[in-house]
Amino acid sequence: MDKPDTQTEEGRADSNGIGNIGRRGMLKAAGGTALAIALAGCSDVLLGDDEEVVDVADVPDEPVEAGLQTFTEGPASVLGLQAQFGAEEAVRRINDAGGVAGREIELDVVEEGDSWIENYSRFVDDGKEVTFGPISSGGHLDLVGEVEAQGVVNIATDGTVTRMFEEELDDPTYAFRFQNHDVMEAASAALTAIEQLGADEIDTYANINPDYAFGQDEREIFNATIEQLTDAEEVYSGFPELATDDMSTHVTSVVSEEPDVLFTSCWGGDATLLLSQGQDQGMMDATDIIVGPVLYGSANDFSSGDIEGNIWSGSRNFYWDFPDSDRWSPGRELFDAAQEAEDTIPTAHYMSGYGAVTCWATAVEGLVDMLGGWPEQEQIAAALEGHGFYTPAGYHVMAEDHQCYSNAHFGRLTWNDEMDIPVIEEMTIRDPREVSPPPGEISVEWIESWS
Amino acid sequence: MIELPLFIDLGDAAVHTLNGIFRGSILFMIASGLTIIFGVLGVLNLAHGEFYGIGAFLLTSIATFFVVRIAAPTDPLSTAIFAAAIVIAVLLSAAILIPIAGAIEATVIRPIYDRAEMYQLLLTYALLLILVDTIRIIWGSQPVRPAAVDGQQIHAALDVIPMEELFGFQYSSVRIFTIFIGIGTFLFLLWFFDRTKTGRIIRATAIDREAATAIGVSSDRVFTLVFALGGFFAGFSGALYSVSAIPATAEMGGTALVLSFVVIVIGGLGSIRGSFVGAILVGVVWSWAIAEYPPAEIAAPFALMILVLLVRPEGLYGAWGEIE
Amino acid sequence: MSNEDQSEEKETIRLMKGLHLTKPQLALALVGLVVVLLVPEIEGFFDNLQLDTFHNGILWGMAALGLALLLNKTELVSFGHAAFFGGGAYGGAMLVNFVGVDSGLLILFAAVFFSTAMAFAIGWFVADYVAIYFALLTLAFGQLLYAIAIGSPTLGQDEGLRLRSGGEASGDPPSLFGIEFTLQQQGEYRLVLYYFTILLLIASMIVMYRIMKSPFGSALEAIGQNRTRARFIGIPVERYVWGAFTISGFYGGIAGGLYGLRQLSIGPEGTLYVFVSGEILFMAILGGFQTIIGPIIGGIVLTFLLDNVRFLTEHFELIIGILLLLVVFVLPKGIWGSSEDIKNGLMTRVKNPAQLGADVGTLQKMLINAVRNAITTIKIILFGVK
Band of pLDDT at residue A245, cut at 50, 70 and 90:
confident
**Does position B324 have pLDDT exceeding 70, yes or no?**
no
Given a contact cutoff of 8 angstroms between Cβ atoms, the answer to whether A297 and A166 are in contact is: no
| Of the partner residues B141, B170, B245, the one whose CB lies closest to the CB of residue A73 | B141
> Which backbone phi and psi does C15 adopt, to 5 degrees?
-80, -45
Question: What is the pLDDT averaged over residues A165-189?
Answer: 92
Residue in B171, B199, B230 with CA at minimum distance from that of residue B29: B230
Quick one: fold of C50-340? ABC transporter involved in vitamin B12 uptake, BtuC (1.10.3470)
Question: What is the pLDDT averaged over residues C158-182?
Answer: 90
Kindly tell me the burial class for residue C287, based on how many C-beta atoms sit within 10 Å of its own C-beta (0-12, 13-18, 19 or more): buried
Q: Which amino acid is at C278?
A: G
For the ranges B19-23, C66-70, C221-225, C345-349, which has the lowest average pLDDT?
A: C345-349
**Alpha carbon separation from B197 to B85, B194, B200, B217, C376 (Å, rounded):** 32, 9, 5, 12, 21
Is omega for the bond preceding A323 within 30 degrees of 0, making it cis? yes
Given a contact cutoff of 8 angstroms between Cβ atoms, the answer to whether B126 and C317 are in contact is: no
pLDDT tens for each residue of A371-391: 999 999 999 999 999 999 999
Query: Is the Cα torsion angle B201, B206, B208, B209 positive or negative in sign?
Result: positive
Q: Do A216 and C307 touch (CB under 8 A)?
A: no
Distance of alpha carbon A269 from the chain centroid: 19
- What is the number of alpha carbons within 13 Å of residue B149 lying toward its C-beta? 26
Question: What is the pLDDT averaged over residues C197-210?
Answer: 93
Other CB atoms closer than 10 Å to residue C195's CB: what's the count? 13
Residues in chain B with CB shorter than 8 Å from the CB of C135 are 44, 117, 121
Residues in chain B with CB shorter than 8 Å from the CB of C75 are 116-117
Q: What is the rounded CA–CA span in Å between residue A319 and residue A348?
A: 6
Chains in touch with C (3+ beta-carbon pairs under 8 Å) read: A, B
**Does position A10 have pLDDT exceeding 90, yes or no?**
no
* Residue in A with minimal Cα distance to C265: A142
Q: Locate the domains of chain A by residue range.
A: 7-181+322-405, 183-319+408-447
**Does position C367 have pLDDT exceeding 60, yes or no?**
yes
* Residue in C with minimal Cα distance to B127: C321
> Which backbone phi and psi does A413 adopt, to 5 degrees?
-85, 120
CB of C157 within 8 Å of a chain A CB? The answer is: yes
Chains A, C: CB contacts within 8 A come to 125
Distance of alpha carbon A421 from the chain centroid: 24
- What is the structure's pLDDT at A46? 42
Please name every residue paired with A70 in a beta bridge, in sequence order, or none if there are none. A111
CB of A162 within 8 Å of a chain C CB? The answer is: no
* Residue in B with minimal Cα distance to C77: B118
pLDDT tens for each residue of A217-229: 999 999 999 999 9
Q: What is the rounded CA–CA span in Å between residue C68 and residue C60?
A: 12
pLDDT tens for each residue of A393-448: 999 999 999 999 999 999 999 999 999 999 999 999 999 999 999 988 999 999 99
**Does position B40 have pLDDT exceeding 50, yes or no?**
yes
Q: By three-state DSSP, how is residue C176 classified?
A: strand
Apex A114 CA angle, A113 and A117, nearest 5: 110
CB of B261 within 8 Å of a chain C CB? The answer is: yes
* Residue in B with minimal Cα distance to C145: B299
Chains in touch with A (3+ beta-carbon pairs under 8 Å) read: B, C
Who's near C314: CB < 8 A, 6+ residues apart?
A72, A73, A111
Q: What is the rounded CA–CA span in Å between residue A280 and residue A13?
A: 60
Where is pLDDT greater, at A48 or A106?
A: A106
**Does position C37 have pLDDT exceeding 90, yes or no?**
no
Please name every residue paired with A109 in a beta bridge, in sequence order, or none if there are none. A68
Q: What is the rounded CA–CA span in Å between residue A190 and residue A220?
A: 12
Q: What is the 3-state secondary structure (H, E, C) of B93-123?
A: HHHHHHHHHHHHHHHHHHHHCCCCHHHHHHH
Computed over its alpha carbons, how large is the radius of gyration of chain C? 23
pLDDT tens for each residue of C281-307: 989 988 888 889 999 999 999 998 888
Q: What is the rounded CA–CA span in Å between residue A146 and residue A125?
A: 13
A7-181+322-405 and A183-319+408-447: same fold? Answer: yes
Q: Do A276 and B245 touch (CB under 8 A)?
A: yes
Helical segments of B105-172, H only: 117-139, 154-157, 163-167
Supply the DSSP symbol for A152: -
Percentage of the residues of chain B whose pLDDT score is greater than 90? 47
- What is the structure's pLDDT at C51? 84
> Which backbone phi and psi does B67 adopt, to 5 degrees?
-55, -40
| Of the partner residues A78, A253, A304, the one whose CB lies closest to the CB of residue B143 | A78
Chains in touch with B (3+ beta-carbon pairs under 8 Å) read: A, C
**Does position A33 have pLDDT exceeding 50, yes or no?**
no
Q: What is the rounded CA–CA span in Å between residue C38 and residue B224?
A: 51
Given a contact cutoff of 8 angstroms between Cβ atoms, the answer to whether C83 and C77 are in contact is: no
Residue in B28, B4, B87 with CA at minimum distance from that of residue B237: B28
**Does position B6 have pLDDT exceeding 50, yes or no?**
no
Residue in B167, B295, B287 with CA at minimum distance from that of residue A253: B287
Q: Do C52 and A121 touch (CB under 8 A)?
A: yes
- What is the structure's pLDDT at B280? 96
Where is pLDDT greater, at C30 or A239?
A: A239
Where is pLDDT greater, at C327 or B88?
A: B88
Residues in chain A with CB shorter than 8 Å from the CB of C263 are 117, 142
Q: Do C139 and B116 touch (CB under 8 A)?
A: no
For the ranges A294-298, C322-326, C362-366, which has the lowest average pLDDT?
A: C362-366
Given a contact cutoff of 8 angstroms between Cβ atoms, the answer to whether A299 and A419 are in contact is: no
Distance of alpha carbon C373 from the chain centroid: 37
- What is the structure's pLDDT at C382? 67
Who's near A40: CB < 8 A, 6+ residues apart?
A173, A378, A382
- What is the structure's pLDDT at A20? 37
Query: Is the Cα torsion angle C68, C70, C72, C77 positive or negative in sign?
Result: negative
Q: Do B126 and C370 touch (CB under 8 A)?
A: no
Question: What is the pLDDT averaged over residues C236-248?
Answer: 94
Who's near A220: CB < 8 A, 6+ residues apart?
A444
Residues in chain A with CB shorter than 8 Å from the CB of B251 are 74-75, 243
**Does position C204 have pLDDT exceeding 80, yes or no?**
yes
CB of A107 within 8 Å of a chain C CB? The answer is: no
Q: What is the rounded CA–CA span in Å between residue C201 and residue C196?
A: 8
Q: By three-state DSSP, how is residue B152 classified?
A: strand
Domain A7-181+322-405: top CATH class: alpha beta
- What is the structure's pLDDT at C351? 79
Q: What is the rounded CA–CA span in Å between residue A372 and residue C278?
A: 54
Given a contact cutoff of 8 angstroms between Cβ atoms, the answer to whether B185 and B36 are in contact is: no
Given a contact cutoff of 8 angstroms between Cβ atoms, the answer to whether A236 and A206 are in contact is: yes
Q: Locate the domains of chain C by residue range.
A: 1-36, 50-340, 352-383
Give the DSSP H/E element, type plus range, for residue A336: helix A330-342
Q: What is the rounded CA–CA span in Å between residue C96 and residue C255?
A: 17
**C236-263 burial, b for 16+ CB within 10 Å, e for fewer?**
ebbebbbbbbbbbbbbbbbbbbbbbbbb
- What is the structure's pLDDT at A40? 41
Quick one: fold of A183-319+408-447? Rossmann fold (3.40.50)
ipTM for the whole complex = 0.89
Residue in A292, A330, A336 with CA at minimum distance from that of residue A314: A292
Q: Do A305 and B12 touch (CB under 8 A)?
A: no
Where is pLDDT greater, at C256 or A164?
A: C256
CB of B177 within 8 Å of a chain A CB? The answer is: no
Other CB atoms closer than 10 Å to residue A168's CB: what's the count? 20
**Does position C189 have pLDDT exceeding 80, yes or no?**
yes
Percentage of the residues of chain C whose pLDDT score is greater than 90? 42
For every residue of A391-418, DSSP letters joined together read ETTEEEEE-TTSBEE--EEEEEEEEETT
- What is the structure's pLDDT at B284? 95
Residue in A128, A173, A133 with CA at minimum distance from that of residue A20: A128
Min Cα distance C372 → chain B (Å) is 9
Chains A, B: CB contacts within 8 A come to 111
| Of the partner residues B110, B228, B261, the one whose CB lies closest to the CB of residue C381 | B228
**Does position A50 have pLDDT exceeding 80, yes or no?**
no
pLDDT tens for each residue of A322-345: 898 888 899 999 999 999 999 999
Disruptive mutation site among C317, C319, C365 for chain B (greatest number of B CBs within 10 Å): C317
Residues in chain C with CB shorter than 8 Å from the CB of A145 are 162, 164, 169-171, 183, 186, 264-265
Q: What is the rounded CA–CA span in Å between residue B221 and residue B219?
A: 5
Given a contact cutoff of 8 angstroms between Cβ atoms, the answer to whether A183 and A156 are in contact is: no
Given a contact cutoff of 8 angstroms between Cβ atoms, the answer to whether C226 and C100 are in contact is: no
Q: Which amino acid is at A333?
A: E
Given a contact cutoff of 8 angstroms between Cβ atoms, the answer to whether B300 and B307 are in contact is: no
Other CB atoms closer than 10 Å to residue C374's CB: what's the count? 20
Supply the DSSP symbol for A57: B
**Does position A296 have pLDDT exceeding 90, yes or no?**
yes
Residues in chain A with CB shorter than 8 Å from the CB of C52 are 117-118, 121
Q: Which amino acid is at C256?
A: G
Question: What is the pLDDT averaged over residues B284-313?
Answer: 85
- What is the number of alpha carbons within 13 Å of residue C245 lying toward its C-beta? 30
| Averaged pLDDT of chain A | 87
Band of pLDDT at residue C327, cut at 50, 70 and 90:
confident
For the ranges A35-39, A97-101, B64-68, B161-165, which has the lowest average pLDDT?
A: A35-39
Who's near C171: CB < 8 A, 6+ residues apart?
A145, A170, C162, C164, C165, C183
Q: What is the rounded CA–CA span in Å between residue A274 and residue A265?
A: 11
Min Cα distance B278 → chain C (Å) is 15
Query: Is the Cα torsion angle A315, A321, A324, A327 positive or negative in sign?
Result: positive
Query: Is the Cα torsion angle A240, A245, A251, A253 positive or negative in sign?
Result: negative
Kindly tell me the burial class for residue A447, based on how many C-beta atoms sit within 10 Å of its own C-beta (0-12, 13-18, 19 or more): buried
Residue in C40, C50, C25, C90 with CA at minimum distance from that of residue C293: C25
pLDDT tens for each residue of A55-70: 678 899 999 999 999 9
